[in-house]
Structure 1
Amino acid sequence: YLKAIENGLAKIFVEAGCVVSTPTCGPCLGGHMGILAAGERAVATTNRNFVGRMGHVTSEVYLASPAVAAASAIAGKIADPAKL
């Protein structure tokens, strides 16, 4: 995390709307830290997905690797990290 701050990546992620959290069972089970509202979408690195898991039942969650999640945060849409 410190290296991401030092080399400017954290700033890029935040400006693109990314939220970085510590490893925890918060948003992935709809508990806290910004659960999804109706119609919202998220790219997540969690290991499972089902309707309503991260918030409202009409929200959408796309499971991705950490590399795809980071590339998507930079691009503002689901992105291939090899094409950045």
Structure 2
Amino acid sequence: MGGKPRHFLEREGRFCSRIVVPKKLRQIIGRSELRAPMGADRREASRRHHVQVAKLMALITAAEQELALTTGTPAAQPR
């Protein structure tokens, strides 16, 4: 059960959760990707990773709902 967790990024000894923002939501969010820093300790970063991804996904879901309200189209189903 090895392998790299999804949305887990390590750069220069620092770890973060990273999610790419869908193109249709970039204008609402104002960024092309969302990152949540988790520090230099890999074990601690692995523990915190799922919580950070959930927070980032909540931001994307809120942006999807805002887009649905402004365009009048139904929002995507929850993930």
Query: Is the pair's TM-score, using the shorter chain for normalization, greater than 0.5?
Result: no
TM-score normalised according to structure 1 size = 0.25
Larger relative helix fraction: 2
Bigger radius of gyration among the two: 2
